[in-house]
Structure 1
Amino acid sequence: MRDPRARRSPRNMPFSDPARGIPLRAVLPNTVTALALCSGLTAIRFAMLGNWEGAVLMVLAAAVLDGVDGKIARWVRAESRFGAELDSLSDAISFGVAPTLILYLWSLQALGRFGWMVALLMALFCALRLARFNANIDREHQPHKSAGFLTGVPAPAGALLALTPLYLWLWTGEAVLRSPALIAPWTGFVAVLMISSVATFAPTLRLKQNIRFEAVAVLVVLVAALVSAPWPTLALLALAYLATIPFSIRSYRRIRRLRASAVPAGPASVPGTSAP
């Protein structure tokens, strides 16, 4: 769950000549991004029809496609500024507008104007996060990224995290989980996490040769759980991700302390030199 298509600086991305059009190899990743956008829009349609299960599944499908399109672009060497901009627009709809409208139509509309204000907050903060991400692409010094962390909760994770009360409601049927008094502060909390500066674990996984079979087994179990019991599985995954945030903050602080303690012993301690 991340913002994958704009990892490289636009100055390092191959630009398409407008007169010649988009390279053929860029069609596949851009098509996947377009499918993610269509999934987000379809989630809105399902929410308008009151099909909450379908709405959640469409947001989940958008998150999966969003995680795939960047990898495909790198595999076929089709990374481009066009793809990065399309991905940001898709994320704004699929992970900002779609979950916002789902929560509003499901619960927050009972609060009237205040409920709409909370919904706007979620969509706006998601857009601000994506804008901050794109604006920082050219920055050489990014402390969180250089240490292997993300800044704040990424847009796909934020969208799936915001829908946690809906998972629990679909799982248990408890009416209290649909209460606007619960949904409003939860939505605001997730929105703040998205634009916060807290360090969160980046979703990169490097497996050693001797544990790949175990990783495949875990993945199979996870897929089986999602198919057989999607709502409790999604709820537990969302809460587990939320529980990792304090550990990511502590890990990042430890790395900062180690880097700070290593600076005096390095070349920076020699007069007339600067740190690399």
Structure 2
Amino acid sequence: MSGTRRRLPRRTRLSGQSFNRVLPNLMTLLGLCIGLSSIRLGLDGRFGDAVIAIAASGVIDGLDGRLARLLKATSRFGAEFDSLADFLCFGIAPALVIYMWALEPWGAIGFLPPLMFASAMALRLARFNAALDSAPKAAFAYNFFTGVPAPAGAALALFPLLVGLEADKLRWVYLREAVGYPLFAGAVLVGAALLCVSTLPVWSFKNFKIPATSMLPLLLGVVVFAAILFADPYAAGALLDLAYIVMLPFSRRSFKRLAAEAERRRHPVLEPEEAAAP
């Protein structure tokens, strides 16, 4: 027997990821579970709780990406997972909740608006993912979405339900019947779908700079809205939807103005004296 000992091959260690890198994906998974739970709540007839569940998933959706950037844990997997969660929480869930609340009496015809909304949301998210690999845009264009983003589209789709829940609380029967009429609820769902797949430039508010003179009024407005939100969340949600719709034309005008300024900087117009000089 030889005196030299034969070395055994080293076992390969399992390489894992730190908790910091997994945490954003766990938040996305939490938002996905909460958003999909709204469907179960809708099946039970608890439409108010269903709205709150979708809103909670929207809050989590706004935090997981920022957390990933803060922890330097961004990844292609995280981006794709986030888009899939957005489709389920803001495309499938609101469409089914509205269908169960107002459109189910119309049967197959009533299912067409939810089908259109979910399809539009899938197209909107696919376009967003494809734009990540596209050519660089002008600096100002990164402050705008192309079309209404997924969480805002879901909020707009839920507008009739928000108004209906508020009308139920106030016992305004006529308003409840009006917003719960399948034609109105379906039209709002189709309108939200069209806004999502449109090319309308919409402020993203990610890099929005607030003038110092507007800071105090903005803070006061936030305090007032927070008070309304806690006192009457359904009314606050409906008012927020209306404010968002009113904001869209101003967003488009701002984009056109910035695009015109960028074009002038690229191709400056010469003064008559400069143009006539040899």
Matches within 5 A, 1:162-241: 162-173=157-168, 174-204=176-206, 205-207=208-210, 215-241=218-244
Name the residue aligned to 1:75.
70
Structure 2-normalised TM-score? Answer: 0.83
From the superposition, tell whether residues 138 and 145 of structure 1 become closer, same or farther in structure 2 (CA, over 3 Å).
Answer: farther
Name the aligned partner's letter for residue 197 of structure 1. T
SS of alignment partner, residue 203 of structure 1: coil
2:72 is aligned with 1:44: no
Structure of larger gyration radius = 2
Name the residue aligned to 2:258.
255
Residue 57 of structure 1 is aligned with which of 52, 55, 61? 52
Calculate the aligned-residue CA RMSD, in Å. Answer: 2.0
Contact 2:143 2:205 in 1 (8 A): no
Name the residue aligned to 1:244.
247
Structure 1-normalised TM-score? Answer: 0.84
Tell me by how many angstroms 1:261 deviates: 2.5
Q: Structure 1 stretches of 5 or more lacking a match? A: 1-18, 267-276
From the superposition, tell whether residues 111 and 22 of structure 1 become closer, same or farther in structure 2 (CA, over 3 Å).
Answer: farther
- Paired residue total: 248
Structure 2 Cα separation of the partners of residues 261 and 96 of structure 1: 40
Runs of 4+ in 1 over 4 A off after TM superposition: 207-217
Name the aligned partner's letter for residue 262 of structure 2. R
From the superposition, tell whether residues 247 and 212 of structure 1 become closer, same or farther in structure 2 (CA, over 3 Å).
Answer: closer
Deviation larger for 244-253 or 95-104: 244-253
Name the aligned partner's letter for residue 39 of structure 2. I
> What do the CA deviations read for 1:132-154 (whole angstroms, capped 9, x no partner)?
10011011233596352110000
**Percent identity (aligned):** 38
Name the residue aligned to 1:141.
136
> What do the CA deviations read for 1:159-215 (whole angstroms, capped 9, x no partner)?
011101111111113211100011111111110100100101112244567866665
From the superposition, tell whether residues 226 and 144 of structure 1 become closer, same or farther in structure 2 (CA, over 3 Å).
Answer: farther
Name the aligned partner's letter for residue 247 of structure 2. T
Q: Structure 2 stretches of 5 or more lacking a match? A: 1-13, 169-175, 270-278
Structure 1 Cα separation of the partners of residues 195 and 214 of structure 2: 33
Contact 1:107 1:178 in 2 (8 A): yes
Where relative contact order (Cα < 8 A, 6+ residues apart) is larger, the structure is 1
From the superposition, tell whether residues 150 and 143 of structure 1 become closer, same or farther in structure 2 (CA, over 3 Å).
Answer: farther
Structure 1 Cα separation of the partners of residues 232 and 16 of structure 2: 45
Name the residue aligned to 2:3.
none
